Chain A
Amino acid sequence: MSSPAVEAVDVRRSYHLDGVSVEALRGVSLRIDPGEYVAVVGPSGSGKSTLMHLLGCLDRPTSGMLRVGDRDVATLGDGELAGLRNRTIGFVFQSFQLLGRTTALDNVALPLVYRGVRRAERRERAEAALTAVGLAHRLGHRPGQLSGGEQQRVAIARALVGEPGLLLADEPTGNLDTGSGAEIMALLDGLVRDRGVAVVVVTHDPEVAALARRRVRMRDGLIE
């Protein structure tokens, strides 16, 4: 069997606040294969974002094992982890997280900066990524000059520009109206289908969840 895009085995994550310990994840096992499209649903506070941060190597589990590709995250240093994020993972956030003073093109090119890609090639690839999300005419615009839907499309272009194997989207339509949300999800679906990218999307929207071939339901830090 080929190695998974990402795999969590009995991971736990607890937070300590003023001596009180909160268990955000209480033993979660999950395997995402390359090219898979998975929706994570569940009530607020059930640990969905915490899981996404772990799958995206932004955070480390308190216990349990986490593998990205064939690499055990526990064996990697912070620098290697950053490199792993850069090469294999794309993030889409609910609040877009674009740099306000920076053009759409430079926002999209940002992951390539940390990969040491030269400027000319960065421009070329960022332009292609923006064209793929239908924003070829908005390269020089700053986030403030774009609609919410357009901003999220820039964020998707940024997530895909480095050709990651895994795309993590935490409530990507949460800040959008229904129409733009549906558009964004359709766009995302089309893009990843072509490229064989594994997708994990956290959502409250039943229509969005319906797009996924597999659904994971969370409650109280556990997968139901």
Chain B
Amino acid sequence: MRAGEAFRVALGALVANKLRSSLTMLGVVIGVAAVVVLVALGAGAKHEVEQQVEGLGSNIIIVVPGKFELGSAPTISRLTLDDVDLLGRVVGDERRVAVSVASGENVSVGRRETFVTVNGVNENVPNVFDRPLARGEYITASDVDTRRRVAVLGSTVVRRVFGDVDPLGRQVSIAGVRFRVIGVFAPVGSTFGVDRDTEVHIPVTAAQRLFGVDRIDALAVKAPRADDVEPLQGKLTAALRDKYDGEEFSAVTQTQILGTIGRILGLLTLVLAAIAAISLLVGGVGVSNIMLVSVRERTREIGLRKALGARQRDILLQFLIEAVLLCVVGGLIGIGLGVGSSLLVAAVSPLPAVIAWWSPALAFTVSAAVGVFFGVAPARRAGRLDPVVALRTE
């Protein structure tokens, strides 16, 4: 028998049982769509985070106490403002060293208030990070030296506490202490629905007094050139280890943070896809089940075909094509549904979605493979039926 003929017979059998074929296909449709959507969401999350980290600027080294691991408990910091000088000497330019000490505080104007992270920083932040201002000025060296109570606000904070009023030059209360607004950050938008325009920067000296601490949480160093990044990492941690009697410090780069985040999101995507793949597997079992029912129902037909000259191979092929057709058509619909849902999710929710070209291709291949894998057993059973026994069946 020609392959085209087997295809026509298989298609005919599927069309003759439209409802059953559709329901069987539904399992595959859902499985494939789930894989496509979850992979798209995983890839979207990764893309978003990467963009955000890259948006910070290039050649940045973050220096933190302890060992750098995402998800590990933060180490109590012994870093102080003096370390700016120390690291400045290592880099050769103190202006390339920014600091941060952060705390969640209430920020208010009159009765309007909001709870945000307040960052104590030095004047070097603009030299290290790409974080342009929309209006006003940033914190200066003299602000830091004189512990001046000035603040630079993110656009969301401005909207929350000032509304439509122009904030420049006005007073804002941070943890009950009055600060004067000297600048407003340019908006950067949100990631995963988390607003990133809620920052408040104040001079690190003012922050330490406000929070009642002497420490700083982290330092950020901008290497002059990309080639300097790696040697600098070693030198920075070595200098700090020397000063703090062998205590551990980490100097991590964007690439390393990206790598870590990438690994975590990659793993997450894989786990999600694996869970989705289980539903595809269940769909495959459904196909297998229906094919077995179909073989049983059509036992007499199989016997007759054999009596008329069909070989084992012809019958096997007919049923295998039927199973693969169910899965492939289901797979194509699933891909359409998956891509559609991903775009819809990306459009109406804060979750980003990126359709990688390989994910529909993979989903298609897998669903075809599922068809073959789960179709082969019923098809072989059909092919092996004894025609005499099959013809006797009612």
Contacts and interface: CB of A to CB of B under 8 A. Distances in A.
Interface string A85-124: 1110001010001010100000000110111100000000
B319 to A, nearest CB: 15
A interface, how many residues as a size bin? 20 to 34
B304 A101 contact: no
Nearest to B394: A95
Contacts of A78: 311-312
Contacts, number: 59
Interface in B282-325: 300-301, 304-314
B387 interface: yes
Interface string A57-96: 0110000000000000000001100110111000101000
Interface in B341-394: 386-388, 391
A56 B307 CA distance: 8
Given A78-B311, A79-B313, A82-B310, A114 B305 contact: yes
A158 interface: yes
A115 B307 contact: no
A219 interface: no
Contact of B5 (A83, A85, A113): A113
Contacts of B386: 59
Given A93-B391, A116-B2, A110 B311 contact: no
A82 B311 contact: yes
A141 interface: no
Contact of B307 (A58, A79, A101): A58
Nearest to A170: B391
A83 B313 contact: no
A138 interface: no
Contacts of B307: 56, 58, 85, 91, 97
Contacts of B1: 113-114, 116
A58 B387 CA distance: 6
Nearest to B384: A78
A110 B308 CA distance: 7
B311 A83 contact: yes
A87 B308 contact: no
B308 A86 contact: yes
A59 B390 CA distance: 12
Contact of B301 (A59, A99, A158): A99
B interface, how many residues as a size bin? 20 to 34
B259 interface: no
Contacts of B2: 116
B391 A97 contact: yes
B16 to A, nearest CB: 5
Nearest to B300: A97
A204 interface: no
A175 to B, nearest CB: 14
B388 A110 contact: no
Nearest to A122: B5
A125 interface: no
A83 B147 CA distance: 99
B360 to A, nearest CB: 35
Interface string A33-53: 000000000000000000001
Nearest to A168: B307
B309 A87 contact: yes
Contacts of B388: 53, 58-59
15 contacts: A56-B307, A58-B387, A78-B312, A79-B311, A82-B311, A86-B308, A87-B309, A91-B308, A93-B391, A97-B307, A97-B391, A110-B305, A113-B1, A114-B1, A116-B2
Q: Which 10 A-B pairs have the closest CB atoms?
A: A86-B309, A114-B309, A82-B311, A111-B308, A79-B311, A58-B387, A97-B304, A59-B388, A53-B388, A114-B310
Given A82-B312, A97-B304, 18 more contacts: A58-B307, A58-B388, A59-B386, A59-B387, A59-B388, A78-B311, A79-B313, A82-B306, A85-B307, A91-B308, A93-B391, A97-B307, A99-B301, A101-B12, A113-B1, A114-B311, A116-B1, A158-B308
